[in-house]
Structure formats: structure tokens, C-alpha cells
């Protein structure tokens, strides 16, 4: 099973709730007006109770210049997802929806855009291309695409984030974040992903015995994470690939063969130091996976 198999997809949310959207259930909160969109965030019945199996887990509200941004973490029977909504000073609204894996990638891209924006000099008509574009990235999530464009015009610099839906609709929605507000959005996502990015939290760390597959790959499960250790070769030589896999994301590092002994010594030294500090502070040394 891949790390995406257990994650809700936006397409599944659309299919699950399209019929209810057409029935025009218009109850909403937060003054947005209209009904909850078909992505299913926090639908409510006539008694104000959440219905259709959706639950809002957390919500953050940010005021950035004249706009309000809502970042919601919601959950249905298929999993969790993030909804990012923009409300203009005139009441206009637009929203994007992404699964938790895509939200984590979006968070990382935001950091890259923040760093790029911080390195820019004073605004000039000569900056960027003819359309005022300063930096662009694309996030691929199944049949969906998320386009991130840092741009500038005579009113300032801003990040435009557009989401395109797959055929046959080809619908496109977008939000525009003032460049100064990218840090606020990123930091809010950091908090939400840290708390809700893992769907199967446990109070205590549970570690299984290491297992070796037929191809020689060794894996170790700790809580809802799996750490995989795989020795591979390429044209540059032998290396150890260490992968961290959870229900919502996957990341990996490669350690060249010539650095194995140094890496092992650094790991041992840092572990010994950490245990010594805990002993001095009187902290139990049972540890955790984090």
C-alpha cells in the first residue's frame, strides 16, 4: 500500500457530495453566505448539527490586509483534508481544497516562496517577466494541479494559488495571498499539520521488531510510521536510502557509502548526549518516536 492509499482525495469528496450540493442545503457558518461547498466541510442540518459524516476538526482565521483567510481541517469517512478560503473586503469568496499530503507539500512550497520573496530587492517594473511573474511552481495531486505564482503589479507583490479540476468540468478556482501574508498562512498550516497530519495518534510509542523483505530492505514500524532502510547503487556509487512513511506523507534521505561510519558515529554521539541530558534532568529514558 502506498502512502497515499489511506488519504482522502478531492475527487472522492466531490463524488460523495455532488448530489447533496445540488439539493441546495444552504446552511453555513462564519458569515460566508450560501451553503457549504461540495467539498463537504461542516455541513449542518436544520438543527445546526453536523451531518453527512463530516466533522470540522480545527479552524484558523487570519486577517491579511483587507482580506480574511480561513484554514479548516475537516474529516469525513475517507479521511482528513484542508480547505483554504479567501474572503475579500466586498464579501467575495473563493476556496481551495487539498488532501493532507498535498497540504504538506503546499506548506513546503510556501517556505520556498517566502525565502525567494525575502531575497527580492525593492519592487521595480523591471522585476519578473512581462506578466509580472517572479517565481512559479506546480503541485501535482492525482488529476488535479495547483499552480503557485509569485507576481507583482502596481499595487504590490502577491502569491496567486490556482486549483484546476480534472475533466469534464475543468473548473478553476484561485486565491490571492498578499506576499506579506505568506508567512502567516505557512505558520498556521504548520500548527494544523503538526496536530492533525497524523490520523492515528497513540499516547505511547509502539515499536515493532525490524523486518527484512525478500529484496533485502529492512523496515521498522514506530506508531503509525514506517522507517525503511535500503542499500542501493547508482552511477555515483553505493548509498543507504532511509525513508520515513506515514499515512499522510513520505520523505527520504540518501547517505553515501563513504559517509556511513561518520553518520553512525554522529547518531551514536547524539543519542548518548541526549540520554545524558535526560539523566541529569531526572527524565525517564523511555523516549518517543518524535
pLDDT in tens, 200-220: 444 344 556 676 666 677 888
Radius of gyration of the chain (CA): 23
Give tens-digit pLDDT for 150-186.
999 988 999 999 999 877 777 899 999 999 999 999 9
CB neighbours of 82 closer than 8 A, spacing ≥ 6?
71, 72, 73, 74, 97, 98, 99, 100, 103, 189, 192
Which grid cell is 48?
A: 445546526
Q: In a 3-state reduction of DSSP, which class is residue 268?
A: helix
pLDDT at residue 123 greater than cutoff 70: yes
* pLDDT beyond 60 at 287: no
Q: Which pLDDT does position 147 carry in this prediction?
A: 96
Residue 25 has what pLDDT? 35
Peptide bond into 168 cis (omega under 30): yes
Burial of 290: CB neighbours in 10 Å, binned 0-12, 13-18, 19+: exposed
Amino acid at each position: 500500500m502506498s502512502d497515499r492509499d489511506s488519504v482522502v482525495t478531492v475527487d472522492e469528496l466531490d463524488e460523495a457530495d455532488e448530489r447533496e450540493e445540488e439539493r441546495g442545503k444552504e446552511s453555513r457558518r462564519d458569515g460566508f453566505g450560501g451553503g457549504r461547498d461540495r467539498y463537504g466541510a461542516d455541513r449542518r442540518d436544520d438543527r445546526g448539527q453536523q451531518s453527512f459524516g463530516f466533522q470540522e476538526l480545527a479552524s484558523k482565521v487570519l486577517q491579511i490586509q483587507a482580506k480574511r483567510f480561513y484554514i479548516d481541517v475537516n474529516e469525513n469517512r475517507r479521511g482528513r483534508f484542508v480547505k483554504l478560503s479567501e474572503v475579500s473586503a466586498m464579501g467575495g469568496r473563493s476556496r481551495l481544497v487539498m488532501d493532507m499530503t498535498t497540504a504538506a507539500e503546499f506548506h513546503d512550497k510556501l517556505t520556498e516562496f517566502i525565502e525567494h520573496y525575502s531575497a527580492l530587492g525593492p519592487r521595480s517594473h523591471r522585476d519578473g517577466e512581462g506578466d509580472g511573474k517572479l517565481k512559479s511552481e506546480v503541485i501535482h495531486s492525482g488529476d488535479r494541479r495547483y499552480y503557485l505564482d509569485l507576481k507583482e503589479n502596481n499595487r504590490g507583490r502577491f502569491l496567486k494559488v490556482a486549483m484546476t479540476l480534472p475533466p469534464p468540468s475543468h473548473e478553476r478556482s484561485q486565491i490571492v495571498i498578499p506576499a506579506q501574508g505568506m508567512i502567516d498562512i505557512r505558520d498556521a498550516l504548520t500548527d494544523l499539520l503538526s496536530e492533525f497530519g497524523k490520523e492515528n495518534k497513540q499516547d505511547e510509542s509502539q515499536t515493532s521488531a525490524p523486518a527484512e523483505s525478500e529484496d533485502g530492505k529492512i523496515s521498522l514500524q514506530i506508531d503509525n510510521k514506517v522507517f525503511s532502510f535500503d542499500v542501493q547503487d547508482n552511477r555515483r556509487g553505493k548509498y543507504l536510502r532511509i525513508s520515513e512513511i506515514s499515512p499522510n506523507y513520505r520523505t527520504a534521505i540518501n547517505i553515501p557509502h563513504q559517509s556511513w561510519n561518520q553518520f553512525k558515529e554522529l547518531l551514536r554521539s547524539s543519542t548518548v548526549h541526549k540520554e545524558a541530558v535526560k539523566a541529569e534532568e531526572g527524565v525517564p529514558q523511555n523516549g518517543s518516536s518524535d
